[in-house]
A and B are shown apart, each in its own frame.
Chain A
């Protein structure tokens, strides 16, 4: 098995607010991430696909195709967007790194038909990331 990773970056704004909680609880739990006007990050996404290289092309999957999938599914959807208001898949979810990583997995998994989506790692800052993979697959 070979693991292939491609990286993209996108910039977006978000805020953390749970309407089921009081204003005070929201401030206590989410701190400055609860600022009503939102704030932004440069996100870095690493997508890992696992598979055997095709004997004819030597590729697990064509990087150009992966690039196009990431462009179409992630960049177009999330880059320079306000995640709370402009990404339907995040409706009803707090757009934490954990939840965005999981949504990204669900967007990409059905689109990757050569090889298999193995891992999604999303950096919100250089010091904070969430990682998502199939239960039991283990982080690689």
Chain B
């Protein structure tokens, strides 16, 4: 349908995980100053909400950009299984070298979902608490992937 309109589909997912913000490039005092209680050595957890937005042609036969069952199983496999009820610092290779701030969590989820074959990933928004959220649309994905 070439009516000059773009349609996107957004879907929310949830996972719960723990993390600790601590940069090996900073000393103990600096870490405490920068990260505050998020630097607590034993870590702490959040209920994260991940909003995934896809775009593409709306298939006239189904009325859909992408079948939700396909999107859900891809996100479940690529993200939720890896992140849910895990320690981000200890259980995910991506955060061995990187501080698991929600900025980096957002970028890592984007990297994992970018290869979805049935629609185009537009952006990933991660809500760490109901008061803060981060959004990533892929501008710097090359440099992230290179690390």
Contacts and interface: CB of A to CB of B under 8 A. Distances in A.
Contacts, number: 76
Contacts of B64: 94, 96, 98
Interface in A93-140: 93-99, 101-102, 105-106, 121, 126-137, 139
Contacts of A16: 62-63
B65 A31 contact: no
B76 interface: no
By size class, the interface of chain A is 20 to 34
Given A128-B11, A130-B10, A95 B63 contact: yes
B61 A18 contact: yes
A133 B6 contact: yes
Contacts of A96: 58, 62-64
Describe B's contact surface by its main secondary structure: strand
A1 interface: no
Contacts of B53: 131, 139
Contacts of A99: 58, 63
A115 to B, nearest CB: 18
Interface in B88-125: 122-123
Given A31-B69, A126-B12, A127-B11, A132 B5 contact: yes
Contact of A134 (B1, B6, B13, B61): B6
Nearest to A128: B11
Nearest to B69: A31
Interface in B33-90: 53, 58, 61-65, 67-69
By size class, the interface of chain B is 20 to 34
Interface of A: 16, 18, 20-21, 29-31, 93-99, 101-102, 105-106, 121, 126-137, 139
A102 to B, nearest CB: 6
Contacts of B17: none
B4 A130 contact: no
B58 A134 contact: no
13 contacts: A16-B62, A96-B62, A98-B58, A98-B63, A98-B64, A102-B7, A127-B11, A127-B13, A128-B9, A130-B8, A132-B5, A137-B6, A139-B53
Contact of A135 (B6, B61, B65): B6
A129 B7 contact: no
